[in-house]
Amino acid sequence: MPPIVRLRSLLLLACVFALALFALTGCGSSNSGNGLASKSAEEIVKEAKTAADGASSVHVSGSVNSGGSPVTLDLNLAAGKGAIGQISQNGSTFKIIIDGGAAYISGSDAFYRRLGGSAAAQLLAGKWLKVSTSTPEFASFGSLTNMRKLLDTVLVGHGTLEKGPTHPTTTVGGQQAIEVKDTTRGGSLYVATTGKPYPLKISKSGSETGAIKFDKWDEPVTITAPASSVNLSELKSLAGGH
């Protein structure tokens, strides 16, 4: 298999793992200051979704063990603009910038060697790879870093919900929160109970143990495309010559 084909497949695999993590169901809140604690589990999730959909930005971070493969995320998402951050899988890391309809990827040597072979590592060393998120092969990047699509996936796909105890108060990142458990899939969502009812954390137990936190809601996010990059078509041409 040509190096660029292997690289593309492995990049997409990393995205699939990341999206699988976000599909874990759960939500949370802070204290009863916004009246959330008195509402049903379904109402809490609905309000968390409404708050998240109305936000301009969010920072998403955490890790999950999916199929024995640890995946770590650290992404800043800006509604209607894109995202910037990095994803790691089994010690292999790549940075990603989504700016409009273009995705820019910069992987570590270990990432390219593990996912694309030594030839890809040599071709891409110190460079950004540019791909279009409109192409079927890389559509997952758009889904991964599209703030509203991502949060809708988290807050809509769930099983039977059960509200956790309102006392003692749960705290997530210094904010008071209420837990909503997904008794079907085994996840928990923590939603802020003071201020806007933003999702604060998703946790999962069992074979896919992990936790994802949401913070820095509505804080400014600067997304700037790299000054130079290697277009996927150029890389395919280079790979074809090896």
- Residue 154 has a pLDDT of 61
DSSP E strand boundaries for the chain: 27-28, 57-66, 69-78, 82-89, 92-99, 102-107, 129-132, 161-163, 170-172, 175-182, 187-192, 199-204, 210-215, 230-231
CA torsion, points 82, 215, 149, 23, in degrees to nearest 10? 130
Q: Which of 58, 74, 56, 59 is CA-nearest to residue 18?
A: 74
Written as six digits, the tokens of 59 are 């920072």
- Residue 31 has a pLDDT of 37
Written as six digits, the tokens of 204 are 């999962």
3-state SS, residue 103: strand
Question: What is the C-alpha to C-alpha distance for residues 68 and 152, in angstroms, rounded to an integer?
Answer: 26
- Residue 5 has a pLDDT of 40
- Residue 120 has a pLDDT of 74
Question: What is the C-alpha to C-alpha distance for residues 104 and 133, in angstroms, rounded to an integer?
Answer: 10
pLDDT digits (tens, 9 = 90+) for 190-204: 999 999 999 999 888
Indicate the burial class of 220 (C-beta count within 10 angstroms; 0-12, 13-18, 19 or more): exposed
Name 190's bridge partners. 179, 201
Instruction: Check: pTM over 0.85? Answer yes or no.
Output: no
- Counting every residue written for the chain, the total comes to 242
Give the rounded distance of the alpha carbon of 166 from its chain centre. Answer: 28
- Residue 9 has a pLDDT of 44
Written as six digits, the tokens of 130 are 């540019």
Question: What is the C-alpha to C-alpha distance for residues 226 and 170, in angstroms, rounded to an integer?
Answer: 41
- Residue 144 has a pLDDT of 64
Could you say which residues of the chain have pLDDT below 70? 1-32, 66-67, 115-116, 137, 142-145, 150-158, 166-168, 206-208, 233-242
- Residue 24 has a pLDDT of 35
pLDDT digits (tens, 9 = 90+) for 45-61: 889 989 998 999 999 99
3-state SS, residue 213: strand
Question: What is the C-alpha to C-alpha distance for residues 82 and 102, in angstroms, rounded to an integer?
Answer: 9
Residue ranges of domains in the chain, CATH in brackets: 3-240 (2.50.20.20)
Side-chain half-sphere CA neighbours of 80 within 13 A: 5
- Residue 226 has a pLDDT of 93
- Are the CB atoms for 181 and 26 separated by under 8 Å? yes
- Residue 56 has a pLDDT of 93
- Residue 61 has a pLDDT of 93
